[in-house]
Amino acid sequence: MSRPAGGAPVIDVDDLTVRYGAAVALDAVTLTVRVGEMVALIGPNGAGKSTLVNTLSGILRPASGTVTVTGRLAHVPEGRQMFGSLTVDDNLRLGAWRGRDRSTARIYAIFPELARVRKHRAGLLSGGQQQMVALGRALMSRPQVLVIDEMSLGLAPLVVSDLAVHLRTLNAQDGLAVLLIEQNARLALELCSRAYVLEAGKLAAQGPSAELASSPAVVAAYLGGAAEEGR
Ligand SMILES: Nc1ncnc2c1ncn2[C@@H]1O[C@H](COP(=O)(O)OP(=O)(O)OP(=O)(O)O)[C@@H](O)[C@H]1O
Ligand SMILES: [Mg+2]
């Protein structure tokens, strides 16, 4: 469980609206992540999750509202976005902050599994290894907050729980704040102390994960409850 809320915000999204042309992708969304907190953002395909993340990292611009990031934010993009023909080591170095501290030793200490394949081409790794490289590349910039878009996508359950352990450790030991975007709501609610539910560009629910996990609407839509229909 992440540290108790109440600290200063590292991510402060206020009344944010983002459009693609005339289409509204985010509609008046307000969301906060505080120092050392792990917060989940869940929601179905097309809800606007990646739009929010891409606005946080400056790829997209707000139509209205504000996005304030305090400290360094690192973004693990949806689909991992490896340079497949470069080695693991080179992919990691690309994450170094303005070229400073390009030593990858710290990342191999966090992910010992990667040390063995450091000279391998990233494109030849398993999906789980590639997600570790994507996380490692983001950690190279020594961020205060990590935003991870669809960490578990396409990965086997055992690989996902291994990644989850790594995240918990980074949060507990280094106080790294995390905004975790997930379609796997069960994982997100287990890992994060608070969560936001985004549906069709609007916040549909928010609160402590334990509360959301026992809300009938959330159970029915995201946790395969009574109205289990698959998604
Ligand atoms: N570049 C774009 N141009 C136009 N519309 C877009 C663009 N990117 C996303 N959209 C639309 O904006 C809405 C939100 O998309 P977004 O990718 O943010 O959703 P998401 O919650 O990340 O979905 P997923 O779970 O599939 O990753 C969708 O209706 C999508 O079709
Ligand atoms: Mg997305």
> 67 and 153 share a domain?
yes
Residues 72-81 pLDDT 10s: 999 999 888 8
Pocket test of ligand 1: the residue of 29, 49, 55, 151 to mutate, having most ligand atoms within 8 Å of its CB, is 49
- How many structural domains are present in the chain? 2
> 67 and 154 share a domain?
yes
> 54 and 156 share a domain?
yes
Give the span between the Cα atoms of 127 and 189, in whole angstroms. Answer: 23
> 53 and 148 share a domain?
yes
Residues 101-149 pLDDT 10s: 778 999 999 999 999 999 999 999 999 999 999 999 999 999 999 999 9
Nearest CA to ligand 1 atom 14: 48
Q: What is the DSSP string of 10-78?
A: EEEEEEEEEEETTEEEEEEEEEEEETT-EEEEE--TTSSHHHHHHHHTTSS--SEEEEEE-S-EEEE-T
Give the span between the Cα atoms of 62 and 15, in whole angstroms. Answer: 10
> 154 and 135 share a domain?
no
Residue at which a domain ends, from 143, 166, 184: 143
The model's pTM is 0.92
- Tell me whether residue 189 is in a domain: yes
Instruction: Say yes or no: CB of residue 50 within 6 Å of ligand 1.
Output: yes
Q: Which amino acid is at 130?
A: Q
Nearest CA to ligand 1 atom 1: 20
> 103 and 47 share a domain?
no
Instruction: Say yes or no: CB of residue 22 within 6 Å of ligand 1.
Output: no
Q: How many CA atoms lie within 13 A of 80 on its CB side?
A: 25
Residue 1 has pLDDT above 70, yes or no: no
- Tell me whether residue 22 is in a domain: yes
> 20 and 42 share a domain?
yes
> 63 and 149 share a domain?
yes
Å from CA of 110 to ligand 1 middle: 32
Instruction: Say yes or no: CB of residue 55 within 6 Å of ligand 1.
Output: no
pLDDT of residue 198: 96
State the residue range of the domain holding 125. 81-143
